[in-house]
Structure 1
Amino acid sequence: MKRVRSTLPPRVLCKLTLATCFMTASSLAFAQDPQSEELLEGIQDGEKVEISLPDPEKQLPLDDLRKFTEVFSRIKDAYVEEVSDQQLLESAIKGMLSDLDPHSTYLAPKDYEELEESTSGEFGGLGIEVGMENGFVKVISPIDDTPAQKAGVQAGDLIIKLDEKPVKGMSLEEAVKLMRGKPGTVLTLTIMREGESAPIEIDVTRDIIKVTSVKSRMLDNGYGYVRVTQFQADTGGQFKDTLKKLESEYGADLDGLVIDLRNNPGGVLQAAVETADALLDGGLIVYTEGRIQSSRLRFSAKSGDVMAGTPIVVLINGGSASASEILAGALQDHERAVIMGTQSFGKGSVQTVIPLDETHAIKMTTARYYTPDGRSIQATGIKPDIVVRPAELTELEGGPFFTEADLSGHLEGQDEGKEPDSSDEQAPDSASMVERDYQLRSALNLLKGMNILNRRDGASGEGNGE
């Protein structure tokens, strides 16, 4: 075997040796070193090969590695309390990930278990989806029918204290651990809310959180309402079953549908894809782009729209994030639905859970989401087609008005004296729901207007064929 020879200075050889330690035996082709034209000769699989020198820009930074080991050693020797090697290494891993973006994190055994619980739809805690903003915990959205929502926590709230502990300086992981606890115990949240000059204290009683992913009701005769609270593994199937149930209750095809994604924090990507697939008659739903091949994915709808073109209005707001933005963006780009409400949260990145062993994993951002038209959701969100902000309406009592029918001796009208048609009356609970919710009322009125126009277009087209 021929000995590898080189006339390079010791410093360069040291770097080469360190770099090759991180390579497999078959990975022997390095980029050309701009500082030298010389090639090293070596033996691989019994044949002589030429090995170019590594690119210094792509090597591990030796000075920084020395700095890391120096800090590690100093902490071990001089920190006020003894720290184990395992604790220091785990802290280093957490630091590497948390400094990348708010969604990349290290999952210790308990965190790994809680992540799996949250996607299954049952877990313990307050019932809020949170992130970090300027060192504080920000509420992305409270989950429907959970202690946090019932106590009055709102999307956009900044949590500055948990009981008496200031949040500033905590990691998101530490804050979430404090929020979780034994069911029945009370946690006091001190929050800052837009429009409020002073902090607000809200007491929330922890409970087992059981999330119902899909809820529905009839808003009016022929107009259905589906609320998707978050996207769990079985949400796509539940959504299709819910549509069948609504049409069965109505006894015919629906005239319009409201899909409520407000304060939906997202969840499982595949569930959002399945929901969009049910409403689209083919075409791209979403695609992802990342640095590695496995992060470049495309999801398309199969042929067949279960609603057969029924008009749809999708409600979104600042608490609509991730998977809910994927659904809204796909329906918007395909012109399958009118998006109404306010701009969504803008969480357009993909996180991949990478197991390290049976109990540890890392959750790392590996790609960005793009809508069918190539729009990035990240930090921009979905802009509604029609902006409708939450509002409270008070109906005004008008003065007395007289009509033709009140005049003495008026000509009798065609339908005068008939009982009013009650077929379009809403159920009492649905009526009060629509009255309280201005955005929902606006969505229902838009659907009714679209239906009227569709009927007129159909009537005007009769008998015009050639």
Structure 2
Amino acid sequence: MDRFNKASRIVFEEYVDPVPARKLKEWSMDGVSKTYLIKSKFTQDDHRIPFSETAPLLKRAGKDYGLEDLQAEFRSLFNYCSERLWHFSPGDFVDSAIKGIIAHLDPQCAFLSPDDFIRLKSTIFEVNPATSLYEKPVQGVMSNNHVHARILRTGTVFARVESFDAQTARILETELTALKDQSGGKLRGLILDLRDNPGGLLIEAVEVSALFLKEGKIVTVKGRTSRNSGRFLVRTAGVERSYPIIVLINQNSASAAEIVAGALRAHKRALVFGRTSFGKGSVQAVEEIGNGYAIKITIAGYYTPEGDLIEGRGVVPDVNVSEAFAGSLRKGMKAGQGLTDDPVIEIALLAIEQTESSSFGDLLPVLKQVLSEKRLALKNDQNDAGPSLPN
């Protein structure tokens, strides 16, 4: 009963939407997580993480995820929050951040025992002996090979971000600076490819968005309690990057990728091309409830600067480029006509070449007209045979 009461209290107080007390009394712990709560789960002792300073802690995207990876993620998170956002209690911050990252990494509701939780914190952060407070992350460097950027033509950069891991924003910024120097000190535009990007660290999504924004809100996290809610803002303007941006998304773009697409579009810094994104915009945390049991619970949702909930809805593109249309366009391209073999990138290049400023203004209706003409031309080439191309 103690475990049930503790699990019920956590759900009642912190689940992102109000849960009727009568319902809680009727459900078992397993029933609560399976039948009512979005992306929540009740688990037992066999999902406890065996703590090790050398062996992998978890699997992430099929790869080992160890202590060094966790340290790097916390350095990025800690530095951003301490320098740009707000003052916080280091103890509370570390506890909630560890639970949040582990919950995000492991869909099976992995968690640490209380003793291992303390050991893990001591390996990630340096503690001030006088105050017993966590003051700064331990040092170290984590490589990132998930950012690939190059010049396509006329000073337009194509940058593919495969996932939002530690230092993604820093590496993207370094790549953009190098390519700008390579192009004589000026870039014409950026195609930011987030297709098939499953997400990653919230802070890295915020940092990437901030590279292209002067001020304003990037994402809002809304839960039922103040400790599970907050806003991420651009507080200090960085290097001026006024060139136009096209963000590419598809049905597999999720979480952090959706935050970036939503933020850049809301501030009118980018147009979004592709397909409606996955719609993963919720925050989970894992709470141990005693005797080897834990509950993974959804505590908040992500909202774009325009106030749109991402969870279950996704980001709807400004220009919808269906797989059928892209495939037909690829077949209709003459040999050597395109700089890439990807028609979506070619469409994005077309858009950037139609504007000379960071504001697309009236470009969108013009671009849609161009695409409509391309669809019509493809239909005529096919003599109206076969299925019609989607709008």
Name the TM tier (shorter chain): 0.5 to 0.7
What amino acid is the match of 2:48? P
What amino acid is the match of 2:60? S
Do the aligned partners of 1:259 and 1:313 also contact (CA within 8 Å) in 2? yes
Alpha-carbon distance in 2 for matches of 1:434, 1:237: 28
- What's the CA shift for 1:173? 4.5
Alpha-carbon distance in 2 for matches of 1:304, 1:370: 22
- What's the CA shift for 1:376? 1.1
Which structure: greater helix fraction? 2
The equivalent residue for 2:297 is 364
- What's the CA shift for 1:339? 0.8
1:327 aligns with 2:260: yes
Shift of the 361–432 alpha-carbon distance from structure 1 to 2, 3 Å rule, reads farther
What amino acid is the match of 2:212? L
What amino acid is the match of 1:123? D
Which residues of structure 1 form unaligned runs of 5+?
Answer: 1-17, 24-56, 69-91, 125-171, 175-209, 398-430, 455-466
Alpha-carbon distance in 2 for matches of 1:358, 1:248: 59
What amino acid is the match of 2:64? F
Length, aligned pairs only? 260
1:264 aligns with 2:197: yes
Shift of the 438–364 alpha-carbon distance from structure 1 to 2, 3 Å rule, reads same
SS in 1 for 2:159: strand
TM-score (norm 2): 0.57
Instruction: Report sequence identity in percent.
Output: 34
Of 85, 98, 104, which residue of structure 1 is paired with 2:40? 104
Do the aligned partners of 1:230 and 1:264 also contact (CA within 8 Å) in 2? yes
1:123 aligns with 2:60: no
Shift of the 337–61 alpha-carbon distance from structure 1 to 2, 3 Å rule, reads closer
- What's the CA shift for 1:295? 1.0
Alpha-carbon distance in 2 for matches of 1:329, 1:223: 22
- What's the CA shift for 1:96? 3.9
The equivalent residue for 1:238 is 171
- What's the CA shift for 1:285? 0.4
Shift of the 251–118 alpha-carbon distance from structure 1 to 2, 3 Å rule, reads farther
Do the aligned partners of 1:112 and 1:359 also contact (CA within 8 Å) in 2? no
Report which structure shows greater RCO (CA 8 Å, sep ≥6): 2
What amino acid is the match of 1:118? R
The equivalent residue for 2:79 is none
Alpha-carbon distance in 2 for matches of 1:362, 1:330: 32
Alpha-carbon distance in 1 for matches of 2:191, 2:291: 43
- What's the CA shift for 1:377? 1.2
Q: CA RMSD in A?
A: 3.9
What amino acid is the match of 2:214? D
Residues 384-407 of structure 1, C-alpha deviations (whole Å, 9 max, x = no match): 11112232323477xxxxxxxxxx
Q: For residues 428-443 of structure 1, what are the structure 2 equivalents within 5 Å? A: 434-443=339-348
1:394 aligns with 2:299: no
Shift of the 269–247 alpha-carbon distance from structure 1 to 2, 3 Å rule, reads same
1:291 aligns with 2:224: yes
The equivalent residue for 1:312 is 245
Q: For residues 146-157 of structure 1, what are the structure 2 equivalents within 5 Å? A: none
The equivalent residue for 1:339 is 272
TM-score (norm 1): 0.49
Do the aligned partners of 2:282 and 2:302 also contact (CA within 8 Å) in 1? yes
Do the aligned partners of 1:122 and 1:211 also contact (CA within 8 Å) in 2? no
The equivalent residue for 1:54 is none
- What's the CA shift for 1:358? 12
Do the aligned partners of 1:281 and 1:303 also contact (CA within 8 Å) in 2? yes
SS in 1 for 2:353: helix
- What's the CA shift for 1:380? 1.4
- What's the CA shift for 1:318? 0.5
Residues 259-295 of structure 1, C-alpha deviations (whole Å, 9 max, x = no match): 0011111111111011111111010001011112211
Alpha-carbon distance in 2 for matches of 1:436, 1:318: 20
What amino acid is the match of 1:244? T
Residues 359-393 of structure 1, C-alpha deviations (whole Å, 9 max, x = no match): 97643211111111111112111111111223232
Alpha-carbon distance in 2 for matches of 1:396, 1:285: 38
1:451 aligns with 2:388: no
SS in 2 for 1:259: strand
What amino acid is the match of 1:109? R
1:352 aligns with 2:285: yes
What amino acid is the match of 1:386? V
Do the aligned partners of 1:287 and 1:372 also contact (CA within 8 Å) in 2? yes
Shift of the 240–105 alpha-carbon distance from structure 1 to 2, 3 Å rule, reads farther
SS in 1 for 2:331: coil
